[in-house]
């Protein structure tokens, strides 16, 4: 699909008509006047006397970025087989962020979840090389719209790759798969990538990461991506993402009913890898370092056992109470590398960490934990702007008892059926070296969700848009 820009209406074979609730319908929609209410994501396909198609798309009353993205994605996904190769859409009146969200929805409508089916569906004409999207606008809007569509394409390229990685089963996705993607991306988009393999991890003492991966024949890795532009003016932002490519729970094994979804337990890694690539392609004026501790958490005779005590990269000892609380254990070494070697101005970790955060917030927001009010405000604002919402939960020292161990510096699980997301955040805090601008994002309820792409939960690439919006905000600041 290519894009052409027009300052006057283009008579394509198919025209999309976005309609706000209460707004008059276009003349071609007269037959639908009585039935079409323009509710969010409501659609109505009409045929003109000349055979051209007109798709009415309701936007509701006051759609946000995520509303626009989802409405357009669902409409284009649902009707893609009926779209002609030439599609016309007016984006006049939409600002840059709205146009970007709309374009992300249009790109997303062509996503194919059927990654491993032997019989692939025929690609809709509009999403082939012959497809053309004709965007209408005023002359004064053209530059802004061109920039918005370019940025949407860059973000979508990263999102699509992360969707494919997250949706891939574990026999097609190992820690090495994530490393290979990072290396290829770094070469293509000119940022540094370093991979610490098993032997190097052992030599340097990344024992927390090694302990989680020691039950797997696929060795753990530490992936370090470093986008550091020569002309940077902004701060250094460190991102750490949980990269468990499959999680059985280890010896503390999970119930079987939903274990197949644990191929998604690298949602934090996906957000970090995608964000570094987008930052590099957008040439943001700040340094962004992404660290992904990548491993499988499976069971064999070598697997870590409940009650074991391990020594992390920073030297703190960890009593393993529950081997299914493995994400925080590998993040301990990821954070440790960040504070020891990078020393960023801001440090943010992301992880599909706890079911408890879903119990608290459902599937509408990720959990935000930080003691830095400015950082909290910036991340909450980015979440509100993009629709990738966050909600702040407490990080009080009153919760420290949940990670107090009798035999080690900390334990990885409280054993209580309450405040599990907070206890996990307190555990991670112990490995930040008291960093003054650290935030933890628990995205367990947001990285995998029900979508139009499939019948069971699948990947969302949550976090990339949120982090890019945040980086653009702080990237304008002097160090």
Q: Are 151 and 282 in contact (CB under 8 A)?
A: yes
State whether residue 221 is helix, strand or coil: strand
Tell me whether residue 265 is in a domain: yes
Distance CA 154, CA 149 (A): 9
Tell me whether residue 161 is in a domain: no
Distance CA 333, CA 342 (A): 13
pTM assigned to the model = 0.96
The reply to whether 328 belongs to the active site is: yes
Distance CA 303, CA 287 (A): 37
The pLDDT confidence band at residue 288, using thresholds 50, 70 and 90, is very high
The two structure tokens encoding residue 35:
């039935």
245 and 134 within one domain? no
Average pLDDT over residues 220-237: 96
205 and 85 within one domain? no
Average pLDDT over residues 30-59: 91
Active-site residue (options: 53, 70, 281, 328): 328
107 and 203 within one domain? no
CA atoms within 13 A on the CB side of 458: 19
The answer to whether the annotation marks 305 as part of a ligand binding site is no
The answer to whether the annotation marks 265 as part of a ligand binding site is yes
Distance CA 429, CA 400 (A): 10
User: What's residue 477's pLDDT?
Assistant: 62
320 and 396 within one domain? yes
Average pLDDT over residues 14-39: 90
Average pLDDT over residues 96-123: 95
Rg (CA), the chain: 23
Nearest to 397 by CA among 359, 377, 423: 423
The pLDDT > 90 percentage for the chain reads 93
User: What's residue 479's pLDDT?
Assistant: 46
The pLDDT > 70 percentage for the chain reads 99
435 and 352 within one domain? yes
- Residue 270 structural domain: 170-475
235 and 94 within one domain? no
Tell me whether residue 108 is in a domain: yes
175 and 124 within one domain? no
Distance CA 439, CA 369 (A): 6
CATH of the domain at 105: 3.40.220.10
Average pLDDT over residues 56-78: 97
The reply to whether 254 belongs to the active site is: yes
Distance CA 294, CA 296 (A): 7
Query: pLDDT tens for residues 127-181?
Result: 999 999 999 999 999 999 999 999 999 999 999 999 999 999 999 999 999 999 9
CATH of the domain at 309: 3.40.630.10
416 and 312 within one domain? yes
Tell me whether residue 158 is in a domain: no
441 and 353 within one domain? yes
Distance CA 164, CA 185 (A): 15
Average pLDDT over residues 284-311: 97
Q: Does 13 score more than 90 pLDDT?
A: yes
189 and 41 within one domain? no
Domain count, the chain: 2
Q: Are 219 and 198 in contact (CB under 8 A)?
A: yes
Q: Are 312 and 207 in contact (CB under 8 A)?
A: yes
Tell me whether residue 215 is in a domain: yes
The dihedrals phi and psi of 54, each to the nearest 5 degrees, come to -130, 115
User: What's residue 27's pLDDT?
Assistant: 87
- What is the DSSP code (8-state) at residue 330? H
The answer to whether the annotation marks 324 as part of a ligand binding site is yes
Tell me whether residue 160 is in a domain: no
Active-site residue (options: 80, 160, 254, 400): 254
Nearest to 448 by CA among 436, 456, 458: 458
Q: Does 207 score more than 70 pLDDT?
A: yes
């Amino acid at each position: 699909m290519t894009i052409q820009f027009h300052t006057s209406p283009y008579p394509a074979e198919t025209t999309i008509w976005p309609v706000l609730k209460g707004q008059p319908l276009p003349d071609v929609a007269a037959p639908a006047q009585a039935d079409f209410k323009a509710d969010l994501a409501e659609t109505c396909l009409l045929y003109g006397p000349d055979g051209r198609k007109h798709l009415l798309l309701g936007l509701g009353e006051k759609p946000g970025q995520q509303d626009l993205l989802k409405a357009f994605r669902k409409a284009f996904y649902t009707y893609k087989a009926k779209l002609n190769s030439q599609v016309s859409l007016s984006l006049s009146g939409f600002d840059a962020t709205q146009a970007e969200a709309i374009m992300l929805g249009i790109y997303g409508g062509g996503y194919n979840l059927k990654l491993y089916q032997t019989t692939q569906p025929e690609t809709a004409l509009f999403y082939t090389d012959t497809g053309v999207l004709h965007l209408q606008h005023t002359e004064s809007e053209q530059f802004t719209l061109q920039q918005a569509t370019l940025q949407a394409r860059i973000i979508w390229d990263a999102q699509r790759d992360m969707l494919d990685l997250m949706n891939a089963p574990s026999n097609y996705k190992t820690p090495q798969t994530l490393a290979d993607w990072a290396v290829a991306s770094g070469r293509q988009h000119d940022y540094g990538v370093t991979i610490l393999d098993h032997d190097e991890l052992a030599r340097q003492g990344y024992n927390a990461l090694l302990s989680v991966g020691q039950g797997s024949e696929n060795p753990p890795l530490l992936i370090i991506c470093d986008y550091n532009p020569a002309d940077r003016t902004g701060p250094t932002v460190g991102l750490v993402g949980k990269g468990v490519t499959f999680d059985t729970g280890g010896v503390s094994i999970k119930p079987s009913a939903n274990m197949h979804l644990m191929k998604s337990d690298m949602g934090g890694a996906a957000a970090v890898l995608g964000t570094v690539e987008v930052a590099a392609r957008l040439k943001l004026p700040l340094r962004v370092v992404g660290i992904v501790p990548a491993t499988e958490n499976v069971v064999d005779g070598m697997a870590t056992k409940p009650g074991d005590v391990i020594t992390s990269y920073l030297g703190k000892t960890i009593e393993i109470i529950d081997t299914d609380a493995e994400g925080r254990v590998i993040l301990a070494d990821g954070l440790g590398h960040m504070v020891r070697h990078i020393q960023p101005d801001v440090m943010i970790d992301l992880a599909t960490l706890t079911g408890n955060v879903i119990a608290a917030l459902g599937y509408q927001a990720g959990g935000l934990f930080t003691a830095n009010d400015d950082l909290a405000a910036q991340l909450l604002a980015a979440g509100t702007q993009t629709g990738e919402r966050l909600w702040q939960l407490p990080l009080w020292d009153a919760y420290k008892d949940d990670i107090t161990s009798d035999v080690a510096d900390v334990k990885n699980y409280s054993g209580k059926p309450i405040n599990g997301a907070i206890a996990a955040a307190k555990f991670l805090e112990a490995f930040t070296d008291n960093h003054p601008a650290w935030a933890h994002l628990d995205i367990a309820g947001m990285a995998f969700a029900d979508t139009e792409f499939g019948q069971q939960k699948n990947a969302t690439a949550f976090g990339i848009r949120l982090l890019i919006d945040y980086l653009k905000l702080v990237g304008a600041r002097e160090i």
